[in-house]
Amino acid sequence: MLKTIFAAFLITLIAQFAIINTQAAPLYGANVVKLEKSDYSYGVGSAEKKWCLNPFHTLDCVTAKDLADEALKSAQDNFSNDQLHNGPGDAYRHCYWSGLLTFEFGESEAKGFGDRHEDFPENPSGEKAMDLHNNGVGRTIAQQLDKDGKKGNKAALSTACKQAVSDGRLITKPN
């Protein structure tokens, strides 16, 4: 029994390493920043990549990546294409992703993921500040929903992040 569990664990780890390395590959090249903004990827020299290569973190990293994909899709559904990079849709995506992470992992680990994701040398400082701010708003919203008994309510999170865009609580343009 224990042997089977251990074998399954090892196989999972090997699969995670394969996934991470495949995702890292397209980042070598000219599209570093563009890819970082539109996709959850492990950038070259990024804090995220280092953290995620620790076998004890890889499963959480795969979950975080799934949630990032979900947030991208949600932003594409709710905003027009020209708003998705450094615009209102980008702000919404960070708010929503960070909220999903907070539902899943709690505030502190969600902050860890959000912070590490922006922590790479090529990240322009204005964009970094914008993303970190919007991640923070997403965490606050998710914590409030949690208090209101709406933990995990994605529709409510989406509505609240859209509201935050229209209220001007999210930064929709980098400095």
- DSSP code at position 54: S
On the 0-12 / 13-18 / 19+ scale of CB atoms within 10 A, 33 is middle
Of the candidate spans 31-39, 73-81, 125-133, 143-151, the one that interacts with ligand NAG by CB under 6 A turns out to be 73-81
Which residue is nearest to ligand NAG, using beta carbons? 74
134 vs 158, which CB is nearer to ligand NAG? 158
Q: How far, in Å, CA of 51 to CA of 88, rounded?
A: 29
**Binding residue (CB under 6 A) for ligand NAG from 23, 78, 86, 102:** 78
Q: Nearest distance from residue 175's CB to ligand NAG, in Å?
A: 27
Number of residues that bind ligand NAG (CB under 6 A): 6
52 vs 170, which CB is nearer to ligand NAG? 170
Interaction between residue 102 and ligand NAG (CB under 6 A): no
- For residue 1, the tally of other CB atoms under 10 A from its CB is 5
Is residue 37 within 8 Å of 127, Cβ to Cβ?
A: yes
**Binding residue (CB under 6 A) for ligand NAG from 58, 74, 98, 140:** 74
Of the candidate spans 71-79, 81-89, 114-122, 137-145, the one that interacts with ligand NAG by CB under 6 A turns out to be 71-79
Interaction between residue 83 and ligand NAG (CB under 6 A): no
As a 3-state breakdown, the chain gives helix, strand, coil percent values, each rounded to 5, of 75, 0, 25
Q: How far, in Å, CA of 85 to CA of 55, rounded?
A: 32
Written as one string, the DSSP assignment of 91-121 is HHHHHHHHHHHHHHH-HHHHHHHHHHHH-ST
Site string for ligand NAG, 9-38 (x = CB under 6 A): ------------------------------
Write the CA distances from 93 to 16, 37, 85, 127, integer angstroms: 25, 10, 10, 14
Residues 129-158 interacting with ligand NAG (rule: CB under 6 A): 154-155, 158
Provide the binding-site residues for ligand NAG, judged by CB under 6 A: 74, 77-78, 154-155, 158
